[in-house]
Structure 1
């Protein structure tokens, strides 16, 4: 039994016709539930209180609801709800329209200081965008960046590409669309005419036409009958003369429609006075049925085998990383030793390059001279594998290994750099050894839980574990301190929603250090288009993993971009958005073009960049209680899932130290354990997470 979980284009056509009767209602307040349900509370002169619900998750719906079916207002409103309130509180509902035959509804609100459009996308992942009268996006539930369209704050809202509209087509257009098909009638109506599977079958039944008949076998009379029932449906939807029904199967609601269905003739149903009422009753019963089903379901056995396989795979990867680190460290050390073993040859090459550069010879000339020397079989020239003027390096074949040397320094310093690199890799190996032990412990814990589940008290053990995960930390009188200092904590940092580490420089020295020491293959480099912006690196792998190419999700990239712009001068200047670009590590260089100068902490980016234009600033400061106790800061979407409580910031008038004190006081009102708060989130510690410049709390 498939229950309706989203509205069709025909449903929305009927719904927009009915919603026109609510024009003139005045908006009181806007709410947001669970990042997918928008509630607009309005007042109508004739009807009184009007509750308009827009849900774009699962299910996807829009309709006026009985106040009795509306949940209590959620707690502290998120930024989107506050923005929406600021735009439409006190405004008049001025109209609604469906975009062509798509599942997109645009609501218009009028106020003396300007009109506001609320665009609900009830397809795909769903979205709600709030725009001004010029269709500039002021805020949206989900940021979307596709090759065909962008939905992001600051961008202009663009509707998707137009589709064929069967309710707006002439008879000739209808027949031409049918003729161009190469399948059967029902599939043609469903896909070519965009009616969807159910309504395609419904219209065939109404027209008395065999659904599976091939288009090649259909005649003009059948086309005429099909167009007639489509035309009848069009007239019904535009006139508003509906006969709404909710259909049931075995006592459970399965569909709500604006008109009776031939496909469901004889089926249990209930009639309603309006389509809005039918939808409200249907989705209220659907939610109630879902809750009852969940309450009676037996606890589902966790996928222990999947977890075990995952941890075993991680152990295997970590073991490989350890072996790789060990081999790489030995190789770097061996390179340093080779520089000394072939001292005369290396010194001859370095001296030749340094002498040529002192005479202002170009790198191309130097390379040509080495090639000429190799033709004369000069040993030093024969050893040259590559000359790179961009980084002022030369790669030498020293027999056992190839070694790249910096031609601006002597052999001793080159060897010292190689020894330091070997030491750095060994430190990563030590980190990997610790990490693999943690993973083995987690693997053993899963195996033990699997064995426990097999006993009579297995489900109870699982239940106790679940209860532990939902501890009310705010009301606990004593919270244990758990701290494990990490190497990246002296930088700005956060973990994305997908678990990737993002680190940013606090000053020019740290910018230099991040690029030279911590940026590796597979990472992504972000930088705001603003002076004094921090270097931001999205790490593809952890400190205990070998560098490799990883498919980093788009949400993590967007969060890194928001982090980069929020801690830049864009925030300090009081702006709410800015442009950010992304580059690969091999595009980032410290070598300027001829005649140019690069200041400390800055870099040259060569090649094409990926831009995140009009990226909204936004920082949340939160407190975590497990697995570690600390204050964290970063993009709101990343902090939400990690903190037991958080406070959102936006550019404002309070200096960095003042806003930190305000945050501390607000956190103090939330935590029962004040001594815990002083230890992990003092004003000084909170200040470390706040952007430079003025800020204010998003109420």
Structure 2
């Protein structure tokens, strides 16, 4: 039983017309899960919430999903999702086109400031590319550089060579394509006509011809019968008269979803369920396909799902924080409007008096609006401030430079300002309520974390170390145990002796590390080359008092290698460089007389301990014990504690490209591919990749 894992060209042709029915929907947010699943949350005037899912990894699909079928929002949006939000949040969905008969869809979004095209490639490795109106690539999930086409940020998007479409050909063209083949009928329909295996067999069945007849033996009668079957198949698809079916086995496992009933599936004895729309059928199919896969995983444990609870509370906290920020901004706007009325008291009073007097004289709202427009043309200040009249509400809108303010002309300036002050106060009270709620949620979150720690401690005690013998790569479901640490916003790793090493990502972090985190028991490392990170080898863990510590030599050499690997040495494509080590008291922000120190730079005084010709080298891996997280740094420190790791060296792939390659490599090594997606997204992996080009060692 072959279960569909990618939508076909026929599927997309049938779906495009249905997706266009959502034209006018407004985008709220964009999400990215892993490196191949994009979700666009939209709202439609008639339908309400609309969830457009675009998955280009496995499976490959594009359709509107029922809200209950979409996953919860991920905790931290990756760079691609943030870029997409910035481009299309608030934009109108204006339609979708299929590229020829290819498995490529181009979605169009319009906003006052920009037109954005989202191209979804549902073939090969899959890709999502975001383009501007000139079809220049803004960003993409996968960079493609081939002799025939390029898909890379800053380049013109290159569609592949368009495939022949059997949905628009006439009989003469059809017969000519068929006769060019050197194989049998069904293979010719599948390849030369681009129908694929299932629909090629379906055409033969509907036409009543033997599918294995060799092309050289095929007659005009065979061609005419097949073309007639093709016309009967394509007409309802092109005209939007689909009759969708969801097919499943007698055991209840889904097999396929199709825009029309297929005799091939009926012959297999599959049960068929009809749907009103093909979009509904394909959504139900992929939802059940994923659900059935999850149900087949035997976890072998009654351990509570602490991770889901933690994700839920973290998601609630994020929403509450967004609400607090929104409330404060809204309150500030209302207060500013009120203050602006008092700051322009005479002008506002003139506008209100003019409207009030005109209404008392019996003049219509249209006449009042025309009067203000005429006054604005003559340069009258009060008239220029008026930007609209709302006859239904009986209000006049003005703009004093701080945005539109709706005024009630039946009352004076003071009461209009008081209304705005009252609204600001009301919004601030909502903010206070949200602040109280977020504290409650944080307490709930800490309670779940505490219970997880207790469970883990009891589990470890009862198993007496059995966890260390688990084969995590083969496990069908790997439990996620992850708490974000304060130092993860810096570059970091733990040496082979267990010492924490932290490094700056930029000048601001370099400054912060030295001024806040460099303690007397630490060691300071830096490269001789310009553009290296501040690297601190912590003698004690954060929270421990500083004390004299004898740091082993291997840890120092790993810190030196870390310092060199994340410096301009790697970026320049070199494979070794020099580093030095000093004590904390030798690092100063005080320059010599007449000199100037840039942000992130420091003066080093006294003798230095040099490490010459230090080889660059970074390993990125996944750690499963005692917690689960992606880690990266010198191979001697990473590989012994990682369940699996991959080494990289200076090479040709940019940071985001090598991160995606590492993600795919690591994911393929685990049976539980969803585990890697949860803890080691390409964005998180990229945090451990040195600046500049890289390649996988022995790739």
Q: TM-score, normalised by structure 1?
A: 0.50
Q: TM-score, normalised by structure 2?
A: 0.50
